[in-house]
């Protein structure tokens, strides 16, 4: 058990950082100091009390990163209720399913999403974001209580709202603080029961790393409804007295570059897709020029060119960050090797929703290429289910402070997730050298060749995605043959005036290039061009099960 109480972290820090900026919406102009944030939280606590919400009740939260979303999240957990953050990108049927499955007593939903929902399916009060207006109520008393909320607040805090008025619920670290659903689809949805201790493990470990300090800035552009963005862009940042700017718009490379240069964050937390796009769109066209290619072969000039590219990229990303942390999925091997070669300050971590999320991490100056960090010291343990854990891949299994309590109302899935002796089965294959993890791929995605060779499709896809006019790829097996499904890079084709009729010819050339780069048993038989983009998970990884 983590010694520091999770809820008390915020009670103490909101008082201490009362006058410092806490939240700002990148678009919209809303901004709150820590004191103003605490005031809005207190107002919602009164609302919950008036609506007879009890400790442990569930409150669903649907929307993009926004100050109103942040206020509801913090108000819920500091009241002692359980937050159910739902990704706004789920379809409305999935959102309604999660609200129902989680037994939520209240819903806060972005008003644009509410317009497309089936209102008759919800029998509980619904509040709109960002306005906090009551959108649906089944009785007049709820409407009356909401109408009188301001009056109740001013009556409760007649002399004003001050730091000493912050008194949050007594929530033991063992208690569930969040239900985070890995999918919205009926039959696939599993509500991960994240305890206050799980969050405390992540937040207190991050604090020891000294990556952020009081008064620092960060830009939250990963979806905070997903536990990766929630834990580090939001919960850790708030615990450290950081000023969080919530992007709230699509995190395209162009939008991000503009926002990063305006905010100039001290830490960047991202997913591989962002850096892979930067590499492919901004760096690859430069280093692939014949003249630059020739110069890169000369050691002294190679170093000069790489240093110039690094400095330019650092400026492009705001020029003020100490480190870039990449997680959520595997980073393309070629991209990783290039960034490491030019000594860019990045690192790759590893985690999963069921660990809220962190399992392993290394500072950028300790990062070893192809690894995903060292298992968190004194927080987590890991083992490899293999006869030779350093050389023969086996399932990565973990236990420790960050491991979930289980899946909500799903004892069968909970039992299946753990070994007989209590270790969480990650579903990832890897090796471990000392405490450093090296992931080979998902157990479920590993393919077996006709000769009994283990094939990790992610490694082949990593090579494919760097070839001309391939935006994304998925390698599957049909009748013992490897087939590559690809989604073409249409914007790049349009930019270079490449007609769609040339795609088949280009992909045949790509197949020949790829098959020279991989082992014989990893060679693909055909490339199939997709008509529509791959469906994605909240972490922006492809839903492989739909295509296998």
Model pLDDT, residue 120: 86
Average confidence (pLDDT) over 468-477: 93
Model pLDDT, residue 328: 83
Is 539's pLDDT higher than 70? no
Helix ranges (DSSP H) in 342-475: 411-417, 457-464
Model pLDDT, residue 538: 66
Quick check: 208 and 240 in contact, CB under 8 A?
no
- For 268-320+323-442, CATH number? 3.40.50.12780
Model pLDDT, residue 241: 98
User: Can you give 287-342 as a three-state secondary structure string?
Assistant: HCCHHHHHHCCCHHHHHHHHHHHHHHHHHHCCCCCCCEEECCCCCCHHHHHHHHHC
Is 332's pLDDT higher than 80? yes
Domain boundaries, the chain: 6-195, 268-320+323-442, 447-546
Does the bond joining 215 to the residue before it have cis omega, within 30 degrees of 0?
no
The number of residues in the chain equals 548
Question: For the chain, what is the largest distance between any 2 Cα atoms, rounded to a whole number of angstroms?
Answer: 78
Do the domains 268-320+323-442 and 6-195 match in fold?
A: yes
From 318, 259, 251, select the one nearest 24 (Cα to Cα): 259
Question: Can you give the pTM of this predicted structure?
Answer: 0.86
Quick check: 155 and 365 in contact, CB under 8 A?
no
Residue that is written with structure tokens 């492919």 in the block: 280
- 3-state DSSP assignment of residue 542: strand
pLDDT per residue as tens digits for the range 39-53: 999 999 999 999 999
* Distance separating alpha carbons of residues 108 and 111, to the nearest angstrom: 9
Is 60's pLDDT higher than 70? yes
- For 6-195, CATH number? 3.40.50.980
The residue ranking higher by pLDDT, 253 or 493, is 493
- 3-state DSSP assignment of residue 134: strand
pLDDT band at 184 (very low <50, low <70, confident <90, very high): low
Quick one: what percent of the chain has pLDDT higher than 70?
A: 98
From 224, 268, 263, 229, select the one nearest 245 (Cα to Cα): 263
pLDDT band at 252 (very low <50, low <70, confident <90, very high): confident
Tokens describing residue 357: 């999320």
Strand pairing report for 346-348 and 324-326 = parallel
Tokens describing residue 346: 């990045």
pLDDT per residue as tens digits for the range 136-179: 998 889 999 999 999 999 999 999 999 999 999 999 999 999 99
* Distance separating alpha carbons of residues 473 and 300, to the nearest angstrom: 36
Average confidence (pLDDT) over 489-503: 91
pLDDT per residue as tens digits for the range 192-236: 999 999 999 999 999 999 999 999 999 999 999 999 999 999 999
Is 187's pLDDT higher than 70? no
Quick check: 62 and 86 in contact, CB under 8 A?
yes
Q: How many CB atoms lie within 10 A of CB 457?
A: 23
The string of DSSP codes covering 53-75 is --TT-EEEEE-SS-HHHHHHHHH
Model pLDDT, residue 82: 98
User: Which homologous superfamily is 447-546 in?
Assistant: ANL, C-terminal domain (3.30.300.30)
Is 275's pLDDT higher than 90? no
183 class by beta-carbon count within 10 Å (0-12 exposed, 13-18 middle, 19+ buried): middle
* Distance separating alpha carbons of residues 85 and 181, to the nearest angstrom: 8
Quick check: 202 and 208 in contact, CB under 8 A?
no
Write down the mean pLDDT value for the chain: 93
């Amino acid at each position: 058990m983590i010694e520091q109480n999770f809820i008390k972290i915020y009670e103490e820090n909101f008082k201490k950082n009362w006058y410092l900026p806490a939240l700002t919406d990148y678009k919209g102009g809303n901004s709150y100091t820590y004191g103003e944030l605490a005031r809005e939280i207190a107002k919602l606590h009164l609302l919950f009390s008036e609506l007879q919400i009890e400790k442990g009740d569930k409150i669903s939260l649907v929307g993009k990163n926004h100050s109103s979303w942040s206020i509801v999240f913090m108000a819920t957990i500091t009241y002692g209720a359980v937050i159910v953050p739902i990704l706004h990108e789920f379809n409305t049927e999935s959102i309604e399913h999660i609200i129902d499955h989680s037994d939520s007593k209240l819903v806060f939903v972005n008003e644009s999403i509410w317009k497309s929902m089936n209102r008759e399916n919800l029998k509980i009060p619904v509040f709109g974001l960002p306005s906090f207006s009551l959108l649906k109520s089944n009785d007049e008393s709820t409407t009356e209580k909401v109408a009188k909320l301001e009056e109740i607040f001013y009556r409760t805090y007649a002399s004003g709202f001050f730091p000493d008025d912050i008194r949050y619920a007594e929530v033991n670290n063992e208690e569930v603080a969040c239900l985070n659903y890995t999918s919205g689809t009926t039959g696939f949805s599993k509500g991960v029961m994240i305890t206050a201790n799980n969050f405390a493990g992540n937040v207190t470990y991050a604090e020891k790393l000294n990556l952020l300090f009081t008064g620092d800035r960060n830009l939250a552009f990963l979806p905070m409804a997903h536990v990766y963005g929630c834990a580090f862009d939001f919960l850790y940042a708030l615990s450290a007295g950081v000023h969080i700017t919530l992007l709230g718009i699509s995190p395209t490379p162009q939008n991000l570059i503009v926002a990063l240069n305006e905010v100039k964050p001290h830490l960047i937390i991202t997913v591989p897709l962002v850096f892979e796009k930067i590499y492919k769109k901004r760096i690859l066209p430069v280093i692939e020029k014949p003249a630059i290619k020739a110069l890169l072969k000369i050691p002294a000039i190679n170093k000069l060119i790489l240093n110039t590219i690094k400095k330019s990229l650092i400026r492009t990303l705001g020029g003020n960050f100490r480190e870039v942390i990449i997680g959520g999925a595997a980073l393309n091997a070629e991209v990783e090797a290039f960034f490491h070669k030019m000594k860019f300050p990045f690192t790759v971590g590893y985690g999963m929703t069921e660990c809220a999320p962190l399992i392993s991490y290394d500072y950028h100056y300790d990062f070893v290429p192809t690894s995903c960090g060292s298992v968190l010291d004194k927080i987590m343990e890991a083992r490899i289910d293999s006869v030779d854990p350093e050389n023969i891949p086996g399932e990565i299994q973990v236990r420790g402070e960050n491991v979930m309590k289980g899946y909500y109302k799903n004892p069968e899935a909970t039992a299946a997730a753990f070994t007989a002796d209590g270790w969480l089965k990650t579903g990832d294959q890897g090796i471990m050298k000392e405490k450093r993890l090296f992931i080979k791929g998902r157990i479920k995605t590993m393919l077996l060749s006709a000769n009994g060779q283990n094939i990790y499709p992610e490694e082949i896809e990593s090579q494919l995605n760097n070839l001309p006019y391939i935006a994304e790829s998925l390698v599957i097996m049909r009748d013992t043959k490897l087939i590559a499904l690809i989604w073409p890079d249409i914007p790049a084709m349009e930019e270079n005036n490449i007609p769609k009729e040339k795609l088949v010819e280009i992909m045949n050339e790509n197949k020949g290039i790829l098959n020279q780069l991989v082992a014989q048993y990893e060679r693909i038989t055909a490339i199939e061009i997709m008509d529509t983009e791959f469906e994605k998970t909240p972490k922006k990884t492809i839903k492989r099960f739909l295509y296998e």
